[in-house]
Amino acid sequence: MFRSLDPGAIGVKAPFEQALAWGAEFGFEGVSVPLPLVREMGASKFRELLDKHGLRPSVFGLSVDYRGDRDAFEKTIQDFPLEAKTAVSVGLTRCSTWVLPGRKGTSEADYFAELKHRLGECTRILHDQGIRLGLEFIGPKTLRKELGLESDGLFNAERMLELVDAIGIPGTGLLLDAWHWYTSHGTPALFDRLNNELVVDVHVNDAPKGIPVDEQVDNRRCLPGSTGAIDLKAFFAGLRKIGYDGPATVEPFNEELNAMEDREAIGVTAQALREFL
């Protein structure tokens, strides 16, 4: 397991190379990769940039529009094989995406079947290039209410693992986010069902104090360890138990952090992560 920086997730607006320099300064070991920048720079120059700062490529986001209508999906998946090859050219082996628990007006069974098909197509393309796909479940009950869902849907790790099994392609697993583990009432017992192959990517954060779990709102989070609302010691113990060897990235969606100067934000984020990793 290694400390990975996602500049955008903590509100950093500095040029990517400057963010890399600060990330290396504060002890990050990897970085999330923006593939449009790789295409702009070229793979060779991008790899040189990472090597210059001693950082490894961690993960990239799934660009295919599998959440929209069929035309949007079919259009955006056309260029995805080339995108996967671009990812491989800079050493990436992990891709991840967030998956809504359901869609208003669509039955749970139909939604599940659609995800199985669309994410299955994405996974096949990635698998051909030796890239794994991590699927992130979204835990907060407040979001399910906002979406107007009639059932809980795919809101926790157990349900998302059902989708992973249904897709059935090696390399498919979870993007395991401490926030969503907490808001879905997850416990350390989850790690008894997991292994290193089933966890592709990890996000860490904390939750505001004094708010019941089912009233937590998705975009109001805190730096890891800042409140203790989420049992991150147990979370990281579980990851170590399964031998997880991938990136751990802070994703707090925190206004106070976003308001900081970029270098300070990276430093504060690094210090928070170092308490656990």
pTM of the model: 0.96
Distance between CA atoms of 11 and 271, rounded to whole angstroms? Answer: 16
- Share of residues in the chain with pLDDT > 70 (%): 100
User: How does pLDDT run across 79-101, given as a tens digit for each residue?
Assistant: 999 999 999 999 999 999 999 99
pLDDT in tens, 226-272: 999 999 999 999 999 999 999 999 999 898 999 999 999 999 999 99
Which residues are CB-contacts of 149 (< 8 A; sequence separation ≥ 6)?
101, 102, 103, 104
Place of tokens 């923006």: 34
CATH number of the structural domain 2-274: 3.20.20.150
pLDDT one-digit tens code per residue, 22-63:
999 999 999 999 999 999 999 999 999 999 999 999 999 999
Q: How far apart are CA 28 and CA 122, in angstroms?
A: 30
How do the domains of the chain map onto residue ranges?
2-274
Show Cβ contacts of residue 150 under 8 Å, excluding neighbours closer than 6 positions: none
